[in-house]
Amino acid sequence: MKDLKHLFYFEKLLEESHNDLVREAQSRGDIAIGSVCALIPEVLLNLSGTFAVRLRAPRTGSIEMGTYYMTSLLCEGCRAYLERALEGGYEFLDCMLTPDACAQMNRCVENIEKQGLCSKEHFFVTYADVPMKADETALKHYVKQMRLRVLAPLHEAFGIDVSDAALFQAVKAQNQINELIRKIGDFRKTENPVITGYEFAVLCLATYCCPHDLLVEKLTETLEELNSREPDEKSPYRVRVVMAGSEIDDPALIKLAEEAGAYVAADRFCFGSLPGREEIVIEPEEDPLTSICRHYMEHGQCPRYMNTDKIRERKTYIDALAKEYNADGIIYQYMKFCDYWGYEQAAATHIMRKDYGYPVLSIDHPYVVGQSGQLRTRIQAFVESIEIKKLAGQKETKHE
């Protein structure tokens, strides 16, 4: 296929956390908020005068110093973020608003805070207690925490408007980005898509790392371009997969999978669009903050939610995605030493294979994937196993 006009532009944005769009937004006086998890609703960090930047450590080399402070048995992503902070990579942030969710990420953020690795005069960190269950009691607590740990500090420290009207406006702006990403992502449902999983991952990831209003023009142009883009005469991919699991903040893993023959049709992982880019609906009988928290709680698929309904929902959600995106199999990936996804993938791999009948591959990987020969070999073998099952099924059909 012909290269997307703006793909290189988006790839360049992802090479640095403090990228050109972040600099442009700060030059006009906007507040850069460090974000580490979707359990702090993204829309609350993208109010008028603020924008969210999800922590990443692009082009990471050694994580030796991060390991020194956090030990070699903790998540490599958290260690890489701390390494980047020690290098001065997050000095541009004005504050960090984080959930008390993942203990390993909390240790990373605490190191950043206690060591003074973000040295702006008014820099601060807050920790919000977020729910582990999805029910009305948890929702009330969630709303209270978002007022105390997100909205109030932004208003008090920077004078940010956190009124209901401001929240309505933020939801409107968020929905614009969400709609663009959804429409672009829908092209992945076709038999011979006009966008690769890697290209989509680049576009989607940029929306987590850059001021939204500065992305709209080029995302809109990309959507228009895809409407007239001609696909390859024959798809270069041998199977279609749902990729699920923990954070993928570097599209290199998606590219590696597709080079091995597995088209990544759906992205059910942190930094992905499923969930994360649905329309946020403000219910008329609720205040906007309650509706926002309800949306993120009900749509969230994080394994930190441990009530039985949510545990079951995570499997039915993957099943629904596999059907909607015509997937032949599922790849569960998780970062080494990730507690939540380590447990989730162990159970889900068995359940999705036994109870739902999907071919499933489970892989753990380092923070820096690069061109891992081991991962490539495992994905290639998985692709071949699906092809063999397809051929066997075709033979059985003929004999019948």
Kindly tell me the sign of the dihedral angle through the C-alpha atoms of 354, 278, 257, 190.
Answer: positive
The pLDDT of residue 392: 79
The pLDDT of residue 399: 54
* Structure-token match 């890489």, residue found: 80
* Interval 224-283: pLDDT, tens: 999 999 999 999 999 999 999 999 999 999 999 999 999 999 999 999 999 999 999 999
pTM assigned to the model: 0.95
280: domain range? 236-398
* Residue 97 DSSP SS3: strand
* Interval 333-378: pLDDT, tens: 999 899 999 999 999 999 999 999 999 999 999 998 876 789 999 9
CATH number at residue 336: 3.40.50.11900
Does 303 reside within a domain?
A: yes
Q: Identity (one letter) of the amino acid at 171?
A: V
Q: Taking 60 as the threshold, does the pLDDT of residue 306 lie above it?
A: yes
Does 389 reside within a domain?
A: yes
Q: What contacts 55, CB < 8 A, 6 or more positions away?
A: 17, 34, 35, 36, 81, 84, 90
Does 339 reside within a domain?
A: yes
> What element of type H or E holds 92?
none
The pLDDT of residue 213: 97
Does 386 reside within a domain?
A: yes
Give the angle 155-249-51 at the CA atoms, nearest 5°.
20
Does 171 reside within a domain?
A: no
Bond preceding residue 275 cis, omega within 30 of 0: yes
Buried b (16+ CB within 10 A) or exposed e, 290-306: bbbbbbbbeebbbbbbe
Does 124 reside within a domain?
A: no
CA contacts within 13 A on the Cβ side of 151: 22
Q: Taking 60 as the threshold, does the pLDDT of residue 387 lie above it?
A: yes
Does 197 reside within a domain?
A: no
* Structure-token match 């080494």, residue found: 336
**Mean of the per-residue pLDDT values of the chain:** 95
Does 38 reside within a domain?
A: no
| % of the chain with per-residue pLDDT over 70 | 98
Q: Are 250 and 64 in contact (CB under 8 A)?
A: no
How many domains does the structure of the chain reveal? 1
Q: Beginning with the edge strand found earlier in the chain, give each strand of the sheet holding 360-365 in spatial order.
A: 262-269, 239-245, 329-335, 360-365
Banded pLDDT at 391 (limits 50, 70, 90): confident
Kindly tell me the sign of the dihedral angle through the C-alpha atoms of 231, 236, 239, 241.
Answer: negative
